[in-house]
């Protein structure tokens, strides 16, 4: 009880600064508690639920669909006039009703709801556990409906509080009780959660394979609608407004009634990799369907009654309506109503019809998930391209843990404007300004927030950091020296769209005689080398501290998608002015190198015969709303080598692997297990001691050959 009360207070503190929304609660305590009323003894017992019959009656006839039926509706008509009990206390009027549905694992409610100011409503388990509320007049909406997210157990209590001076509370009627027969909200231990994730092949969004999708995950929500579970996505629009739109599958939400009673749960995920749940209570109730088709295309676009408040940290995902996509694709979803997961396909999609009565040429096919899979409860999940823009929503397929293949996503581009009526297309709503854009990047509806920034360096755990003067008459290779280099740069590659608001300089030397001695901080765009200058800032050496990491904020925020370079220009006035950064010591020719030098032309650090250093400069970036990738090696890099039962290998550049084969010293093909992840490529095996050869074929058909040694 103390823990839940503390969470309640935290939510309120944040809520004070935002516009109330959906199921954001007012800070209040039920009067039955403060007035020390006895526990209610009588519960309205719901008719028994025949779970198999319920599943048959309410399940979709489409076996390919991936919505999850977890609860059966019980239609009732309970209100303060015909049930429950009223009590008068010094603090106000109290109405309470207990509801029980035997053997339910959880219960959730839909109410006809319109409260007057001053009136509070709560829902909780006996003993004030799992407290929901207070709900107030601020939760009113035009449909006069409110749904309460599931409360664990087979009993709950609804409580209404009204001031003594108030003779009318508004309208409150419980119209549906949903009986959970699957136990999808079961509370498991951290150990059991880890075990289940490992065994069922799903990939936790907060583990290593989700590291580049921490911004987009904030757009994804779990949807509960009429006893079904699925997934949806908050979308942005070309005007950049904070108007919320949620996209999901038609087969999940296909009627205005189901939309008005839908529940949208945000941030239903673990705190860290396979840890305990972060929160269960960040939800909105109800939406209006503004665009869909009657089974021609499997999409539904909804506008929630309220926008997600800042405490939910929402993100409006970007999208691509060009009907062209290539490279890696990612889906973020809630399989079986579980914590947020990720599935990754490293190969191109196929345009292939799913049939089932939907329009032809309207779906993308994922032939094989390399990481993760989708399951029941994933319906409506987004499919993002490698530019981190949504290109489809999950319609269904045959993919499971045992068979991670053949999933179909309705094409976003086909839903864009195939049908001319505004109620049957996405364009009218997401490009209301009529810009004609077919591509739009995602954004934070509340503007830039440094809370979503992190520090990124091109360092690896095995690196040694230092400063070198090798082969120099004086000075340091990362600054003023006899070599005469005047510019230095570090290359960064975003894993999608990225915003930069400052840089970190790991300064080794900042020595000056003239107080006006300075360097120029630079940012360049470019591919293989720095090309176009996009930012410059003058830094006085007197303002930089030696042997420390110095943070330099920008006076603007850059939104970057392509590779870019951060570096500095030094001035040779006197030998006494000395500036140099720390850098990684030489990594060797098989390791990544991202350091660049300028003397009349730009050069890669390892290409200079006098230096020949494979290194990265001590330059970090403050990356926001996205992440950058570590530098790639210039050749195939296999490690550890020698090895025992596995090796990892890094490919030069962003190259997707199509096939991996292993041969022994006699040319015989050996059995190996190849796993491709966001952290690199790994090969598992049980080989005898000896020398082996690796043949790697890329998706473009180019072969790479490497050698490794097994010692046991």
Q: The CATH number of the domain where 625 resides is what?
A: 2.60.120
17-21, 82-86, 443-447, 670-674: segment of lowest average pLDDT: 17-21
In a domain, 446, yes or no: no
Could you give the 3-state DSSP secondary structure of residue 273?
A: coil
Q: Tell me the pLDDT tens digit for each residue of 396-436.
A: 999 998 899 999 999 999 999 999 999 999 999 999 989 99
In a domain, 62, yes or no: no
Pair 613, 665 in one domain: no
In a domain, 112, yes or no: yes
Pair 38, 113 in one domain: yes
In a domain, 156, yes or no: yes
DSSP assignments along 610-649, one per residue: TT-----BSEEEEEESS-EEPPPPSS-EEESSSBSSEEEE
Domain count, the chain: 4
More confident residue, 10 or 466: 466
Pair 20, 158 in one domain: yes
Pair 671, 697 in one domain: yes
In a domain, 427, yes or no: yes
> What is the mean pLDDT of the segment spanning 373-390?
95
Pair 173, 222 in one domain: no
pTM for this structure?
A: 0.84
Mean predicted lDDT score pLDDT of the chain: 88
Structure confidence at residue 449 as a pLDDT band (50, 70, 90): confident
Q: Domain end: 598, 629, 660, which one?
A: 629
Residue in the block written with tokens 């503390």? 6
CATH number, residue 658: 2.60.40.1220
Is the bond into 650 cis (omega within 30 degrees of 0)? no
Among 470, 166, 419, CA closest to 291:
419
Could you give the 3-state DSSP secondary structure of residue 381?
A: coil
Q: Domain end: 404, 419, 440, which one?
A: 440
Q: Domain end: 604, 629, 654, which one?
A: 629
Pair 271, 234 in one domain: yes
Pair 159, 34 in one domain: yes
Pair 75, 110 in one domain: yes
Length of the chain, please? 712
In a domain, 263, yes or no: yes
Q: Cβ contacts of residue 566 below 8 Å, gap of 6+?
A: 489, 490, 492, 503, 521, 522, 523, 619, 621
In 3-state terms the chain splits into helix, strand, coil percentages (rounded to 5) of 10, 45, 45
Q: Cβ contacts of residue 467 below 8 Å, gap of 6+?
A: 476, 478, 508, 509, 580, 581, 582, 583
In a domain, 63, yes or no: no
CATH number, residue 295: 2.40.10.10
**311 vs 14, 307, 446, CA distance in Å?**
6, 11, 11
Pair 501, 525 in one domain: yes
Pair 399, 529 in one domain: no
Are the C-beta atoms of residues 289 and 300 closer than 8 Å to each other?
yes
Structure confidence at residue 8 as a pLDDT band (50, 70, 90): very low
For residue 677, what is the enclosing H or E element?
strand 673-677
Among 177, 160, 178, CA closest to 169:
160
Tell me how far apart the alpha carbons of residues 26 and 14 are, in angstroms, rounded to a whole number.
Answer: 11
User: What is the domain extent for residue 89?
Assistant: 2-54+68-180
665: pLDDT strictly greater than 80: yes
Number of helices and strands in the chain (H, E): 7, 50
In a domain, 482, yes or no: yes
Pair 42, 173 in one domain: yes
Pair 86, 202 in one domain: no
CATH number, residue 125: 2.60.120.290
Tell me how far apart the alpha carbons of residues 537 and 550 are, in angstroms, rounded to a whole number.
Answer: 14
Predicted pLDDT at 280: 61
């Amino acid at each position: 009880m103390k823990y839940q009360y503390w969470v309640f207070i935290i939510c309120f503190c944040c809520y004070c600064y935002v516009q109330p929304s959906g199921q954001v609660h007012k800070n209040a305590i039920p009067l039955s508690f403060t007035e020390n009323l006895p526990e209610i003894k009588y519960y309205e017992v719901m008719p028994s639920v025949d779970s198999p019959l319920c599943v048959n009656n309410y399940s979709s006839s489409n076996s390919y669909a991936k919505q999850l039926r977890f609860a059966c509706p019980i239609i009732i008509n309970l209100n303060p006039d015909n049930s429950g009990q009223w009590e008068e206390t010094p603090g106000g009027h109290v109405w309470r009703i207990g509801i029980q549905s035997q053997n339910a694992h959880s219960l959730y409610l839909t109410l006809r709801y319109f409260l007057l100011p001053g009136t509070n409503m709560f829902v909780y388990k006996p003993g004030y556990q799992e407290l929901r509320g207070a709900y107030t007049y601020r939760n009113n909406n035009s449909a006069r409906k409110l749904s309460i997210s599931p409360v664990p157990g087979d009993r709950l209590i609804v409580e209404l509080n009204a001031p003594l001076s108030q003779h009318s509370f508004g309208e409150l009627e419980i119209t549906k009780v949903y009986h959970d027969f699957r136990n999808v909200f079961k509370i498991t231990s951290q150990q059991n959660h880890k075990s289940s994730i490992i065994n069922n092949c799903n990939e936790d969004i907060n583990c290593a394979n989700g590291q580049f999708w921490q911004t987009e995950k904030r757009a994804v929500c779990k949807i509960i609608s009429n006893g079904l579970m699925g997934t949806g996505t908050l979308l942005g629009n070309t005007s950049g407004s904070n108007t919320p739109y949620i996209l999901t599958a038609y087969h999940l939400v296909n009627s205005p009634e189901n939309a008005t009673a839908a529940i949208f749960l945000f941030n239903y995920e673990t705190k860290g990799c396979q840890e305990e749940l972060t929160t269960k209570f960040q939800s909105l109730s109800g939406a209006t369907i503004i665009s869909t088709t009657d089974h021609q295309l499997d999409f539904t676009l909804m506008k929630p009654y309220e926008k997600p408040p800042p405490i939910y940290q929402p993100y409006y995902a970007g999208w691509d309506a060009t009907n062209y996509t290539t490279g890696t694709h990612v889906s973020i979803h809630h399989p079986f109503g579980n914590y947020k997961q990720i599935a990754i396909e490293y190969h191109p999609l196929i345009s292939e019809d799913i049939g089932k009565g939907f329009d032809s040429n309207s779906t993308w096919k994922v032939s094989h998930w390399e990481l993760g899979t989708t399951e029941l409860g994933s319906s409506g999940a987004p499919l993002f391209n490698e530019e981190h823009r949504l290109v489809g929503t999950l319609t269904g397929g045959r993919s499971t843990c045992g068979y991670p293949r053949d999933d179909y996503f309705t094409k976003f581009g086909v839903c864009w404007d195939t049908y001319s009526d505004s109620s049957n297309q996405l364009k009218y709503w997401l490009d209301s300004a009529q810009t004609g854009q077919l591509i739009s990047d995602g954004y934070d509806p509340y503007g830039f927030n440094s809370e979503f920034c992190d520090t990124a360096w091109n360092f690896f755990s095995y690196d040694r950091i230092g400063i070198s003067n090798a082969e120099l008459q004086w000075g340091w290779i990362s600054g003023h020296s006899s070599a005469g280099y005047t510019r230095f740069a570090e290359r960064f590659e975003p894993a999608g769209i990225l915003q930069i608001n400052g840089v970190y300089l790991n300064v080794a030397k900042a020595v000056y005689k003239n107080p006006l001695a300075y360097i120029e901080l630079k940012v360049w765009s470019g591919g293989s080398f720095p090309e176009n200058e996009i930012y410059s800032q003058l830094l006085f050496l007197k303002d930089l501290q030696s042997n420390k990491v110095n943070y330099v904020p920008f006076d603007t925020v850059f939104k970057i998608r392509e590779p870019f370079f951060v570096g500095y220009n030094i001035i040779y006035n006197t030998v006494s002015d000395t500036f140099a950064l720390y850098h990684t010591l030489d990594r060797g020719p098989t390791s990544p190198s991202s350091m660049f030098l300028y003397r009349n032309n730009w050069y890669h650090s390892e290409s200079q015969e006098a230096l020949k250093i494979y290194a990265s400069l001590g330059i970090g970036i403050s990356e926001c709303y996205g992440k950058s990738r570590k530098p790639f090696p210039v050749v195939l890099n296999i490690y550890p080598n020698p090895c025992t039962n596995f090796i990892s290998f890094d490919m030069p550049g962003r190259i997707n692997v199509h096939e991996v084969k292993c041969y022994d010293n006699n040319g015989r093909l050996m059995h190996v297990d190849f796993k491709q992840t966001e952290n690199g490529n790994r090969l598992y095996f049980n080989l005898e001691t000896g020398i082996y050869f690796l043949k790697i074929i890329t998706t473009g058909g180019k072969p790479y050959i490497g050698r490794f040694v097994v010692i046991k």
